[in-house]
């Protein structure tokens, strides 16, 4: 099946997905009420041993959006590396010297 027309459409969809997820990642921060305290949603060890409430939908939104964004970026990189490999093989088979016909 020669479906080379799908590559640009797939790349465009992956870029749109990544940007939509980055924009969607701002919504839990906006809905916090105090966006300057967004780091309270991220679980990290602190000296006071205060952890986020893992039952909160805002925390799960952060995890879901982060996981989906990571997967989308990895898939985008994998497909671009695959197409780069195909482009590199086309460049490899092309003659490197410029031939000028003698008339």
Condensed to tens digits (0 to 9), the pLDDT of residues 18-30 reads: 888 888 888 888 8
Highest mean pLDDT among 8-12, 15-19, 36-40, 44-48: 15-19
What pLDDT band is residue 86 in, cutting at 50, 70 and 90? low
- Tabulate helix, strand, coil % of the chain (nearest 5): 65, 0, 35
Q: What is the pLDDT of residue 48?
A: 73
Closest CA to 18 of 57, 63, 65: 65
């Amino acid at each position: 099946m020669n479906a080379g027309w799908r590559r640009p459409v797939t790349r465009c969809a992956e870029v749109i997905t990544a940007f939509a997820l980055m924009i969607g990642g701002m919504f839990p921060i906006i809905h916090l009420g105090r966006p300057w305290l967004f780091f309270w949603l991220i679980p990290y060890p602190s000296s006071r041993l205060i952890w986020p409430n893992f039952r909160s939908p805002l925390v799960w939104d952060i995890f879901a959006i982060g996981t989906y964004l990571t997967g989308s970026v990895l898939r985008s990189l994998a497909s671009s590396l695959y197409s780069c490999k195909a482009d590199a093989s086309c460049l490899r088979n092309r003659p490197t010297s410029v031939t000028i016909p003698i008339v």
